[in-house]
Amino acid sequence: MKPFGLFCYNLPVIIDFHTHVFPPQIKKNRSKYIGRDPCFALLYSNPEAKMATAEELIASMDEAGVDISVILNYGWITHELCVETNDYIMESVSRYPQRLVGFCAVQPQSPQAAIAEIERCAQAGIRGVGEMRPDMQLFDLTDEVVMAPLVEALRKHKLILLTHASEPVGHDYPGKGSITPDILYPFIASFPDLKLVCAHWGGGLPFYALMPEVKKAMSNVYFDTAASPLLYTPEVYNQVIQLVGADKILFGSDYPLLTQRRLLEEIGALDLPQETKSLILSGNARRLLGIEGEP
């Protein structure tokens, strides 16, 4: 049994599909990196903005009852920063192979270097690329000249792509960005066989699944719940389940922005069948990541 708050789940495994970690040197020297990267500066110029190392993530997982976390990188502007942080993610996975699954970052504006980095990281066991930030990294998801070679490299190594997504309406917040459903959908339609995860409920993209052609195009698209309490009321779960199915939703906390416990308690309070909660908290992620047996 996995206790947290007032709820208790009899689940074999809980997988958090959206967490972030930083190398200790970046957490310690945040001001140095603020000057090197505009996306990092936007998100972490405020000294109150939370940052975590892999060890801190593991401690938080133990406290919340999370078995496995996917650790995502960021949308760094330069290839060099992608490599530096990819090294930390791969090293962290090697230290906690039963607890962590790694995703790497690349800069598609340096196409040859990006593909070489995907090759390098795939050889080390990386399972995907993300969290991509096309607006911050200054590349166009709809530019097939840039994206087609990248997608081919992902297909070759059976990797997942995870991209940031944001809402075209509603309140503003640091890092909201402009990767809205109208930007995501043409990319999805161009590469329908790519395994894609759209963070933060896809910026509302599931609501367009009422259009038959959109739902058909999204057959390989998943949506994570990262930062959900900051964006939507809990009713979003029921609505998205009705629109795209419970098998397309991945529990993601966006730790350390939010604690895992906050989202787990929200999911626990939902009037959903236990089977549906199990899909969201672990089953869908296990199928997507190819995790078999008990961790």
The vertex-63 CA angle with 60 and 65, nearest 5°, equals 105
Per-residue confidence band for 6, with pLDDT thresholds at 50, 70 and 90: very low
Q: What Rg value do the Cα atoms of the chain yield, rounded? A: 18
Three-state DSSP state, 34: helix
Report d(CA 21, CA 37) in Å as an integer.
17
Per-residue confidence band for 292, with pLDDT thresholds at 50, 70 and 90: confident
Q: What is the CATH number of the domain that holds 43?
A: 3.20.20.140
pTM: 0.95
Residue 63 lies in a domain: yes
Report d(CA 15, CA 77) in Å as an integer.
29
Residue 293 lies in a domain: no
pLDDT tens for 12-28 read 689 999 999 999 999 99
Mean pLDDT of 202-224: 98
26-60 in b/e form (b: 16+ CB < 10 A) is bbeebeebeeebebbebbbeeeeeebbbbebbbeb
Per the prediction, the chain carries an average pLDDT of: 94
Residue 294 lies in a domain: no
Please give the residue range of the domain that contains residue 115: 2-288
Residue 200 lies in a domain: yes
Three-state DSSP state, 143: coil
Q: Is residue 294 scored above 70 in pLDDT?
A: no
pLDDT tens for 218-253 read 999 999 999 999 999 999 999 999 999 999 999 999
Q: Is residue 165 scored above 90 in pLDDT?
A: yes
Residue 295 lies in a domain: no
Q: What percent of the chain has pLDDT over 70?
A: 95
Residue 164 lies in a domain: yes
Tokens describing residue 120: 């390098």
The total number of structural domains in the chain stands at 1
Q: Is residue 9 scored above 70 in pLDDT?
A: no
